[in-house]
Amino acid sequence: MKKYINKFLLLGLTSMLFFNACKKEGTNVIFTGGNSPVLSASLKDTIVLSSAIKNNQAISFSWTNPNYQFSNGISSMNVTYNLEIDTLGSNFSNPNMQIVQVVSDLGKSFTVDDLNALLGNKLKLKDSVVHNIQVRVVSFINPYTSGSAQISPLTSNVLNFVVDTTYTPPPAVTPPASGTLYLVGGDPLIGAWANVAPAPTANTFIQKSATDYQLTVALSGGDPTNSNASDQYLIVPVAGSWSHKYSCSSTANQPFSGGTFGLDLSSNFPGPTAPGNYLIDVNFQSGIITVTKQ
């Protein structure tokens, strides 16, 4: 019996040593390098944008695989690529710089309409004007660490283009057919969710242009994440009606200012934490709602 017990103990010890050896080997996999992607495009120098050819392909970008290398071979993990588009001279530091994220694929194409909307509504370039832009791609594996150090992204070469010319893109969000906007919400200063017709003048937006509405309003502030939504708000196109509303996708993830909005999305806008007068700017062209304390 003692002999059998010793065999079992020896077998168990051997298994533990083998397991620890495998575990140690796994944790010792290290990053050994990669190659910066090489960016190329279907066009050189000039991109022509015209509403007459809005459904045509404007440009197609492609790049090489960075081939991330590890001590156990080439990585099989999905690589994420950020195609960055900015104005020439900004060196990819422009706060309006656009990032188009691509997972695994080694290319991205844009129609004339799509690229024009990205440049006009998002990069905020003026229409009917010749612009100079620059493009690069940045590759990364995320999350991944080698030992205690995170693997640095790899950045491609930069391509420069003259864009001739942009045209006014359709609004990112369709403006209200009513031509009116009203603020409703849980704040007692704006009616504590009382959506009535006619709406109070204090809750009525002023139309600044076909795609821009503004309202300066007093808000009491509080906790916009509370469960009873007393410090949240919505915007409606017809006073006294809940048939349609302008809202956001997630109250918790929506920035107080500078977030996107849409028609009949699922969540309320977060209100301010501090009391005061606030200018609410609803820009349908860009699809951005901006809130500024006055």
pLDDT digits (tens, 9 = 90+) for 134-169: 999 999 986 655 554 567 899 999 999 999 888 999
Which element (helix H / strand E) includes 9? helix 2-27
Same CATH fold assignment for domains 31-164 and 182-293: yes
Name residues whose C-beta falls within 8 Å of residue 169's C-beta, 6 or more positions apart in sequence.
Answer: 113, 116, 117, 120, 121, 127, 285
Q: Is the pLDDT of residue 77 over 90?
A: no
Q: Does residue 287 contact residue 172 with C-beta atoms inside 8 Å?
A: yes
What letter does residue 198 receive in the DSSP assignment? S
For the chain, which residues make up each domain, given as ranges?
31-164, 182-293
Among 6-15, 89-98, 148-157, 185-194, whose mean pLDDT is lowest? 6-15
Is the pLDDT assigned to residue 42 strictly greater than 90? yes
Q: What angle do CA 265, 193, 184 make, to 5 degrees?
A: 60
**Those residues with Cβ within 8 angstroms of residue 277's Cβ, 6 or more apart along the chain or in another chain:** 216, 217, 218, 219, 293, 294
Residue 207's nearest CA partner among 170, 242, 177 is 177
Q: d(Cα 15, Cα 168) in Å, to the nearest integer?
A: 70
Q: What is the pLDDT of residue 74?
A: 61
Closest CA to 230 of 248, 251, 254: 251
Tell me how far apart the alpha carbons of residues 27 and 44 are, in angstroms, rounded to a whole number. Answer: 46
Residue 100 pLDDT class (50, 70, 90 cuts) = very high
Superfamily of domain 31-164: Immunoglobulins (2.60.40.10)
List the CATH code of the domain at 182-293.
Answer: 2.60.40.10
The pTM of the full predicted model, rounded to 2 decimals, is 0.70
